[in-house]
Amino acid sequence: MALLASKRFKFTYGPVPSRRLGRSLGVSIIPHKVCSYSCVYCQLGRTRAPRIKPYSYFDRGKVIAEIEERVLETSPDCITFVGDGEPTLSADLGWYIGECKARWNIPVAVITNGSLLFMKEVGQRLLKADMLLPSLDAGDISTFQAINRPHPELELQKIIEGMIAFRREYKGLFRLEVMFVKDINDSELSLRNIRKLVWAIRPDRVDIAIPTRPPAESWVRPPDPDRILYAQRLLRAAQVMTWPEEGAFDFAGFDTLFDAVIALASRHPLRWNQAKHLEEAFGQNGELERLVRMEKLSTVKYGESQFIIPPAEESAGD
């Protein structure tokens, strides 16, 4: 599991600034990189052993108690189940959603790759969520394999059928995200194949995203601007999310800058300027540079931004 230096918080992080959800309290109920995909653009790295069978990973009481503590301390705009892996792989997800809805008047969102919605029990667990944000990055099998690198038992047709069936039953806000990667799914054919599936699924909204944080594969790049604009036109009402998120990261509960940066960056790579804001808040000017020199933190450049990430041995593992 990813190393989190905070002794207080194992399952929650943030609130972090979200382009879609405001100040989002992230909740991770899955061990590090337990997922049904190994997407080339994933900011958490490669999935070593993709899985598709839901399992109960953690003590329910401990998880909900930590969520409660964080809600009372930080007053988030949204409680979001996402975190270290694919949240629908938790057999307890429906229970967590129900508890959050019963305890607090705060919207509950689930960010998912949508790959397991064809399983009836998975869909049932999600029905009480206020918002579901599944992803759809491919409209044909070859592109699906290239960008999402799914578990060998997953079939694109079955995944799409699952999304369509779930959408008919679900009463909450259904926002589909399409992540575009240059030369993988931004061709004319790829875009039109995706459009066909979007029309079949009928989401409330489509969000167009591009890689903005260091991806699993170093060669991953965002499409050219003209392709993004073309995709927006083709998908009609799609919203383009190509800008960095704005706002401060919450660091309550962390005793040191190092603790806060490790905990946040292991799940949400921090831009250098975001980490510097944390440094200022802790009153430890120059500490980031010192930690990088000591190799307790690493930096990587992606696009025009420099990111702070944990050293490999601290962010890897299941």
The domain spanning residue 284 has which CATH number? 3.20.20.70
Question: What is the maximum alpha-carbon separation in the chain?
Answer: 54
| Predicted pLDDT at 313 | 44
Q: Note whether residue 216 is domain-resident.
A: yes
| Predicted pLDDT at 317 | 38
Q: Note whether residue 108 is domain-resident.
A: yes
| Predicted pLDDT at 316 | 38
The answer to whether residues 199 and 238 touch, using CB atoms and an 8 Å cutoff, is: no
pLDDT in tens, 202-240: 999 999 888 888 899 999 999 988 888 888 888 875 676
Tokens matching residue 225: 């601007």
Q: Note whether residue 29 is domain-resident.
A: yes
The answer to whether residues 211 and 244 touch, using CB atoms and an 8 Å cutoff, is: no
Cα(86)–Cα(159) distance, integer angstroms: 15
- Exposed (0-12), middle (13-18) or buried (19+): which is 114, by Cβ within 10 Å? buried
Q: Note whether residue 67 is domain-resident.
A: yes
pLDDT in tens, 185-207: 999 999 999 999 999 999 999 99
Q: Note whether residue 2 is domain-resident.
A: no
Is the pLDDT at 318 greater than 50? The verdict is: no
Mean pLDDT within 76-103: 95
Q: Note whether residue 96 is domain-resident.
A: yes
| Predicted pLDDT at 267 | 63
Q: Phi and psi at residue 188, in whole multiples of 5°?
A: -55, -45
Which is higher by pLDDT, 136 or 265?
136
The answer to whether residues 198 and 234 touch, using CB atoms and an 8 Å cutoff, is: no
Q: What is the mean pLDDT of the chain?
A: 85
Range with lowest mean pLDDT among 43-52, 106-115, 137-146 = 43-52
| Predicted pLDDT at 292 | 80
Q: Note whether residue 5 is domain-resident.
A: no
Is the pLDDT at 137 greater than 90? The verdict is: yes
Degrees, nearest 5: CA angle 284-287-293: 175
Percent of all residues in the chain with a pLDDT value above 90, rounded to a whole number: 56
For the sheet containing 108-112, what is the strand order?
A: 12-18, 22-27, 78-81, 108-112, 131-134, 173-179, 205-209, 239-241
pLDDT band at 139 (very low <50, low <70, confident <90, very high): very high
Is the pLDDT at 298 greater than 90? The verdict is: no
* Residue position matching structure tokens 């589909």: 176
* Residue position matching structure tokens 């980031």: 288
Helix (H, G, I), strand (E, B) or coil at 155: coil
* Overall domain count for the chain: 1
| Predicted pLDDT at 22 | 75
Is the pLDDT at 113 greater than 50? The verdict is: yes
Write down the pTM of the prediction.
Answer: 0.77
Q: Note whether residue 6 is domain-resident.
A: no
| Predicted pLDDT at 31 | 92
pLDDT band at 312 (very low <50, low <70, confident <90, very high): low
Cα(295)–Cα(286) distance, integer angstroms: 15
pLDDT in tens, 232-274: 888 875 676 554 555 555 556 667 788 777 666 666 667 777 7
| Predicted pLDDT at 268 | 60
Domain that holds residue 51: 12-315
| Predicted pLDDT at 9 | 78
pLDDT band at 277 (very low <50, low <70, confident <90, very high): confident
